[in-house]
Amino acid sequence: MPRHALRIEYDGRPFAGWQRQADQITVQGVLEAALARLQGADPRVAAAGRTDAGVHATGQVAQADMVRAWDPFRLAGAVNQHLKPHPVAVTACAAVPDDWHARFSAIERRYTFRMVARRAPLTLEAGQAWRVPGPLDPDAMAEGAAHLLGRHDFTTFRASICQADSPVRTLDALEVESVPRPDGLEVRLHLRARSFLHNQVRSIAGTLERVGAGAWPPARVAAALSARDRAACGPVAPPDGLTLTGVTYPTDPFA
């Protein structure tokens, strides 16, 4: 069956995450339904990563095995037509070899987490960023973030239901970007790693918010990491501000 790579963006708010579920609307479910309408048979779809409920994507990558080969441009257009009215879109499509895999061929995932420090609730950006009511110190957050770079046991920063065989991961980048706004300050966390644990990014974001708010000294992040204990983690940030922004492969299938 000819395999196609799809780059996908979506607003995660209406969905119970990426992974197909029998009784809830998911991104995988609506994508497979759209593909099925093009060939009259259930397609086989796999993604680079399974985002949780409410998490967004601008650079999710999935593979779809179709009954016949399609021109990539025409396939993207046809799928987008059948995805309506769901907030999901295929932004790029390419034919790939049968041994290419959206998940196992990936060598890096990239996420961005947005938090906005302002007193007023978010209206136009509701669900797209985490509104923090008090001020944030991005320099302190960057100092705390530095303790998490490199290869570590991230037991403290993964969900208790995480199914990964090992809590050891290598965090290649964790950048703290400060963006002044007329209504306050936006802080963006940019993370890069080959793979992430369940809730790892949101756990890191919630912990660094505590540092930025002045509730934790930056050195406490190192202590939390060393504890290898979920109880040592800060509060898990909501999914609103989290976006999967890209997936890297040895050779870019969309180039």
204-217 per-position pLDDT tens digit:
999 999 999 999 99
Q: For the ranges 55-59, 114-118, 157-161, 229-233, which has the lowest average pLDDT?
A: 157-161
Q: Is residue 39 over pLDDT 90? A: no
Note the pLDDT of residue 32. Answer: 95
- Domain spanning 108-246 has what CATH number? 3.30.70.660
- How many C-beta neighbours within 10 Å does residue 75 have? 21
Domain boundaries, the chain: 3-104, 108-246
Q: What are phi and psi of 59, to 5 degrees?
A: -140, 30
User: How confident is residue 44, by pLDDT bands cut at 50, 70 and 90?
Assistant: confident
3-class secondary structure, 247: strand
Q: How far is CA 165 from the centre of its chain?
A: 20
Assign domain 3-104 to a CATH class.
Answer: alpha beta
Q: Which residues of 38-71 are buried (b: 16+ CB within 10 A; e: fewer)?
A: beeeebebebbbbbbebbbbebbbbbbebeeebe
- Residue of 169, 166, 163, 174 whose CA lies nearest to 218: 174
Q: 112-142, pLDDT tens digit by residue?
A: 999 999 999 999 999 999 999 999 999 999 9
Contact 41, 67 (CB under 8 A): yes
Contact 56, 125 (CB under 8 A): no
Active site residues: 52
For residue 223, the surrounding DSSP H or E stretch is helix 219-227
Find tokens 């002045």 and name the residue.
Answer: 214
Phi/psi at 84 (nearest 5 deg)?
-65, 145
3-state secondary structure 27-75: HHHHHHHHHHHHHCCCCEEEECCCCCCCCEEEEEEEEEECCCCCCHHHH
pTM over 0.75: yes
- 255 pLDDT band, cuts 50/70/90, is very high
